[in-house]
Structure 1
Amino acid sequence: MPEARSATGRLASSIRRIRSEPAVTQTLRSTAAATIAYAVALWLSSEPAPLTAPLTALLVVQVTLYSTLTTGIRRVNSVVAGVLIASAFSVLVGLSWWSLGLIILASLIVGYMVRVSEFVPEVAISAMLVLGVTRVADTAWDRVLETLIGATVGLLFNVLFVPPVWIGTAGASITDLARRMRQLLIRMGEELSDHVPVETAAARLYEARRLDNDVAEVDAALRQAEDSVRLNPRVKEGLLNRVVLRTGLDTLEICAVVLRVLARTMTDLARERDGALFDPEVGRSLQELLGHVADALVSFAVLVTSQVSESAQAAEDRLAGELAAAVTSRERTANLLLDGVRHHPDHWQLHGALLTEVDRILDELDPAHRSRRLMEELDRSAREQREKYPRITRVRQWTSTKRQRHTAAR
């Protein structure tokens, strides 16, 4: 029985993990929308196999509502433009090598004219497909109808069945990145009092450099999360969520860069010294300092990704405690390194670099620095919103003024 319950728990956990994957959700949603579009096209179109409708629905249904209303609409424009071009060519000329060249040229030119951005090639692809399967103008117009059916079904599908909000997935990615950085710092701290070959120190440097790839993956997940909260009725504070996560990732990215510089400093020390990097007492102090910094990174990530106020307050308290312990450990380590400079005066620059890099990470994780950066980003986003949509801003100001006057009249 315990084994059965354990297996059931693992199965349920696997199902939850699969359902949380954007690729799985997108696959199921696209399949459903394309099937519905085909059924509607069979009912409204005279074509026996209206495949253009599910094709358009597949192109329109995106992983977020915002991308559906932006990327999806551009894709619809590209398909419709291609079908219209093919309709005109089906009336004037047949399909030959020179007409194919003309339709590709005309499609690409029209694609740039209708501003479908990255979907310009899809105008030519749609035109070639339609011209290849039909030579009759009436049938080509049926393709236009199928395209409009697929586009309408795709848009309504994402409006009625709003895509998930991927804030949790992006938050988990940010936390995982902080934990990987923590593990690297812990390993670096454990080697400070031992004999560290240059190859081992260089391996840590390569690990730090690979964090750039991790940051890029988290950035992609965060961009998807940012799109998922735009125009999404499930989210009340979309701008705040986007800015909090984005500034948090920016901070971790800066810390990853500093961590790479720290690993380079360790590698230079290993190259200069034939033996342990530091005396045992200095090594233990530095290990303690890096441990506090590592824990502060994870506490910062938890604070950034906390959605509940109580959890955020607990994470902020843990972060403040880790930063306070790190500052205390930093002062003790600085005094020990100063004494070590008297024995190794040639390496004073590397000792100073270690403290400078640790100071930079602590400064980036400081709650006051984060609050200031958060307010700056919120002000910048609000200003850009006002400049981009001045009419909406004026309507909001007018509505707010009327509400205030109505409240004062009461």
Structure 2
Amino acid sequence: MGEGSSRGLRERIDDRISDPIWWNDVLQLAKTVLAAVAAWVIAASVLDLPQPFLAPWAALLVVHATVYRTFSKGAQQVAATVVAVLLATLVGEAFGLSTWAITLLLVVALVLGSVPWLGAEATTIATTGLVVLTTGFDDDVMLLSRLYDTAIGVVVGLLVNVMVWPPLRRHTAAKALDAVDDGIGMLLVDIAGGLGDGCQDEDVTGWIDRTRDLDQDLDQAWALVRQAQESARMNPRRSARSMRDPRQWHELLRRLEQAVAETRSLARTLGGQSAHRETWGEAFADPWISVLADVGRAAVEADPEGLVGARGRLVALSEDMRRTERSAEWPVYGALIINLRNIIDAMDEVAAANPITGRRLRIRLPAPRA
């Protein structure tokens, strides 16, 4: 492996291990394993239950990505597990272990799983019931043991997820907002570069398509902010307080939506002009394209001062054109100036709030010795 490849690999590893989102995912995986193993040890070694497999099963079911969902979905899954154990026992006592018994069990389990209160846990009821039916159903002591197993798994899963660094999806949501912010900025820079080089119709179509991609990224960002808000509910961490009512995040998302819409409008306006610079004239084209590029770079770099400076230059350009220019292209000038002004107004608060993403962890691979 060459020195360049080794350096690139090292940078990727450093970037990953300094990413708090990656560590959150690793921690959640470790907590899930810890809950399942602890439930198994308690059921098998401490209480010496005869078939303790339902304890880690139930623990896996209740460890969710948020504390609130651990309680809400966990309650539904626990109810589904208890229903499955009872259902398997009743079917086994009535029909024994046979093909007809398994068929009846699956049909009833899938029907019960469609009950709204159970949260569509049809698969949980069917699989758990199938395991219980095929591993023994004719012993009352075994039935109670399985219910104990389930209770142990539920309690252990809840305690682990709540007490061991309860998950808070703030960084994930912030990273999604930052990605949309950067996407808008890079698109504006590309539009400015395309106009400077002389863009074609396919360039304009590509810019419009990229705004549609940004719309999809925004939908994902909204979903992640809602998940972050949910992760703050019932979360004992002090940093969860600001996420319980994330008004600032909602305002930033609305501003990003406006910026994407204005960028699409700007691109459509450009698509209506067959020869941009030649039709506009240098008095408008050069300063406007320069401001457009600077706005894009300021958005990528989260530079609110750069956006303020760009707004001042845009206002000066508008005043200068109003005093000196009598071109038939004034409707186009006005549309492009308004689009760009609205983009600046939408993005300045986003740039100012950029520290909302938090800091990356200062974790790196040890430097190799010379």
TM-score (norm 1): 0.72
1:172 corresponds in structure 2 to 175
Judged with a 3 Å threshold, the aligned counterparts in structure 2 of structure 1 residues 200 and 330 are, in CA distance, closer, same or farther, namely same
2:311 corresponds in structure 1 to 327
Alignment of 1:11-410 (within 5 A): 13-17=15-19, 20-42=22-44, 43-48=46-51, 50-113=52-115, 115-138=117-140, 139-235=142-238, 237-239=241-243, 242-269=246-273, 272-273=274-275, 276=278, 278-294=280-296, 297=299, 319=304, 321-334=305-318, 343=327, 345=328, 350-365=332-347
Post-superposition CA distance 1:132-160 (Å, at most 9, x none): 33232433432222111111110011122
Judged with a 3 Å threshold, the aligned counterparts in structure 2 of structure 1 residues 244 and 196 are, in CA distance, closer, same or farther, namely same
- The one-letter code sitting in structure 1 at the alignment partner of 2:335 is A
SS at match of 1:233: coil
Q: Is contact 2:299-2:347 (8 Å) kept?
A: yes
Post-superposition CA distance 1:186-218 (Å, at most 9, x none): 121223233212122222222222212322343
Q: Is contact 1:108-1:121 (8 Å) kept?
A: yes
Of 251-260 and 56-65, more deviation after overlay is shown by 251-260
Judged with a 3 Å threshold, the aligned counterparts in structure 2 of structure 1 residues 6 and 364 are, in CA distance, closer, same or farther, namely closer
Quick one: distance in 2 between partners of 1:226 and 1:15?
25
Of 351-360 and 39-48, more deviation after overlay is shown by 351-360
Quick one: distance in 2 between partners of 1:274 and 1:168?
42
Quick one: distance in 2 between partners of 1:186 and 1:12?
29
Quick one: distance in 2 between partners of 1:216 and 1:22?
22
Quick one: distance in 2 between partners of 1:340 and 1:101?
85
TM-superposed deviation, 1:13: 4.7
TM-superposed deviation, 1:102: 2.8
Post-superposition CA distance 1:247-291 (Å, at most 9, x none): 21232133223222322322332xx33875643332222223324
Identity percentage of aligned residues: 27
SS at match of 1:135: coil
Quick one: distance in 1 between partners of 2:96 and 2:325?
85
Q: Is contact 1:45-1:142 (8 Å) kept?
A: no
- The one-letter code sitting in structure 2 at the alignment partner of 1:248 is L
Quick one: distance in 2 between partners of 1:335 and 1:75?
65
Q: Is contact 1:193-1:278 (8 Å) kept?
A: no
Judged with a 3 Å threshold, the aligned counterparts in structure 2 of structure 1 residues 169 and 288 are, in CA distance, closer, same or farther, namely same
TM-superposed deviation, 1:36: 0.7
Judged with a 3 Å threshold, the aligned counterparts in structure 2 of structure 1 residues 156 and 163 are, in CA distance, closer, same or farther, namely same
Post-superposition CA distance 1:279-310 (Å, at most 9, x none): 333222222332453356457xx6xxxxxxxx
Judged with a 3 Å threshold, the aligned counterparts in structure 2 of structure 1 residues 101 and 6 are, in CA distance, closer, same or farther, namely closer
TM-superposed deviation, 1:361: 2.6
- The one-letter code sitting in structure 2 at the alignment partner of 1:361 is I
Quick one: distance in 1 between partners of 2:246 and 2:324?
46
TM-superposed deviation, 1:105: 3.5
- The one-letter code sitting in structure 1 at the alignment partner of 2:257 is E
Of 334-343 and 92-101, more deviation after overlay is shown by 334-343
SS at match of 1:192: helix
Post-superposition CA distance 1:293-335 (Å, at most 9, x none): 3356457xx6xxxxxxxxxxxxxxx63x445433333334435
Q: Is contact 2:17-2:23 (8 Å) kept?
A: no
TM-score (norm 2): 0.79
2:358 corresponds in structure 1 to none
